[in-house]
Each structure stands twice: as structure tokens, then as C-alpha cells.
Chains A and B, each alone.
Chain A
Amino acid sequence: MPVRVQTQDFDVGAEIAGLRAGDARVGAVASFIGTVRDINDGSGVSEMELEHYPGMTEKSLEDIVAQAKARWNIFEALVIHRIGPLKPLDQIVLVAVTSAHRGEAFAACEFIMDYLKTQAPFWKKETTPQGARWVDARVSDDKALEKWQGGPQGKP
């Protein structure tokens, strides 16, 4: 299953090994791991709660992976996103992509993350010394999306 939403942690090494197992076409694996920081917008963060929209989340991630596969010559893509309570240092998300050459793998991995940040229905609530607060969406995330629009940049 190329898309997983789960409360438990993941083992990056084992996941990547599984993604490229037995596939000698693969010459490149690009991966991104998002982790919980202990500070955000000037406040200390002691805990973070991840909420999502069951059903829509999986569909939107599968759709993003399908778009990446349509756009670049990649073999496999994996997205794992955790939900529930997390602490600083915890892993939140893994995106891993296999391809023959690095260019496609790097581009597709970044594309999937940029779309995930703005399209997949996850929400973060962080606990700070001032109390719990919902994390605001960032304008920079919408900006990151713009570079993928209006043409198949990065497509070989």
C-alpha cells in the first residue's frame, strides 16, 4: 500500500528497503522525513496532536501520488503520515520515491510533500506554555505549490 495513515512510528530503513526490494531498475531513492520541532512561531512546543479526515486523507494522498507518477518517470512512491499525539523529535511523515535517476526522484518527492502540505486534510494542534493552539497554514506552503503549476517542470 503506497499510502498509510497510522498512529505508530515507522522505520525509515525498513520502509525504503521494502520499497525497492527486488527492483533492479531502481538507481535512485529520494526520501523526506518531517519531524516535530520543539519551537514554533516563537513558543516552545511540548506536544503536538495530529487530526485528519479519515477516508478523504487516504484518497487525497493516493491522488497526489498518482499525479507524481503521471508527471515523472518514477517507479514507486510511498507516503506514511502519523496521526494522534506526538512529541518533539518524533517522526511525522515519510515520503520516499524510487526512479532510475536522481532528478525524477528528487522532484517527485518534493512535489508530493508540497501537495501534501496544502491538499491533504491533516491539522496540527500544538501544546505550548500559553496553552494549546491550532497551527496556522503558512503562505510559504502555498508559494511552494506555485512552482509546480503551469507546466511539467522537471519532466524529462
Chain B
Amino acid sequence: MNIQLRYFASVREKLGTSQESLAVPAHVQTIGDLRAHLRERGGPWAETLADGRSLRMAYNQQMTDASARLSEGCEVAFFPPVTGG
């Protein structure tokens, strides 16, 4: 399954990238699985996406949680709590 990934604000800076296309292995089915899968890259990925870090997730541009299921071509974003207004 191929998905699009987006990163914003402090998460984008710590990871050093704003977006990527990724082919995910079959066992990665939810956003929570994806977060764990990306942590395996180590370094800033392990640190920034660690459990317990205050992180927000969006699935196809809607705020969601770790249980959201991935689908072919979907867009997933990781970012810190929002601070607009």
C-alpha cells in the first residue's frame, strides 16, 4: 500500500522533511502502526514520534487518532497541537 505523508511545524523541523511518499508493509494497518513503523528509522524519528509525545494526527485532512485505518493513496499528517488564532 502506498500512502502520502505530511509533517508540519516542530515535527517537520525535527524530522527534516515536510512530505514523502511511502510504501508501507502489510502489517502496518493503522496510523498507530505507521507511527511505530516510522520510529524504527531511529534518531529524530524515534524521538519525535515516541509514545507519550504530544502529537496530533490527520487522516485525509481530518483530525483523527491512532486507530484510524490506512487506505491506498491516503494522506496522513503528523503535527504538534495547533496554536493558531
Chain A residues at the B interface, C-beta cutoff of 8 Å = 34, 50-53, 55-56, 59-60, 81, 92-93, 113, 116-125, 134-137
Identify which of A56, A59, A92 contacts B85 (C-beta below 8 A). Answer: A92
Residues on A with beta carbons closer than 8 Å to the beta carbon of B79: 53, 121, 123
Chain B residues at the A interface, C-beta cutoff of 8 Å = 6, 8-10, 54, 58, 61-63, 77, 79-85
Contact indicator B84/A117 (Cβ below 8 Å): yes
A90 CB, min distance to chain B CBs, angstroms: 14
Identify which of A56, A81, A135 contacts B83 (C-beta below 8 A). Answer: A135
Residues on A with beta carbons closer than 8 Å to the beta carbon of B10: 123, 134
Contact indicator B84/A53 (Cβ below 8 Å): no
Residues on A with beta carbons closer than 8 Å to the beta carbon of B82: 117-123, 137
Distance in angstroms between the alpha carbons of A123 and B79 in the assembled complex: 9
Distance in angstroms between the alpha carbons of A114 and B61 in the assembled complex: 20
Q: Which of chain B's residues has its CB closest to A60's CB?
A: B63
Q: Which of chain A's residues has its CB closest to B79's CB?
A: A121
Would you give 6 A-B contacts (Cβ < 8 Å), ordered by A?
A50-B84, A53-B58, A55-B61, A121-B84, A122-B82, A124-B83
A41 CB, min distance to chain B CBs, angstroms: 12
Distance in angstroms between the alpha carbons of A43 and B57 in the assembled complex: 30
Q: Which of chain B's residues has its CB closest to A51's CB?
A: B9
B3 CB, min distance to chain A CBs, angstroms: 16
Contact indicator B8/A93 (Cβ below 8 Å): no
Given contact pairs A53-B6, A93-B85, A137-B80, enumerate 12 new A-B contacts (beta carbons under 8 Å).
A34-B85, A53-B58, A55-B61, A117-B83, A121-B8, A121-B77, A122-B82, A123-B83, A135-B83, A136-B83, A137-B82, A137-B83
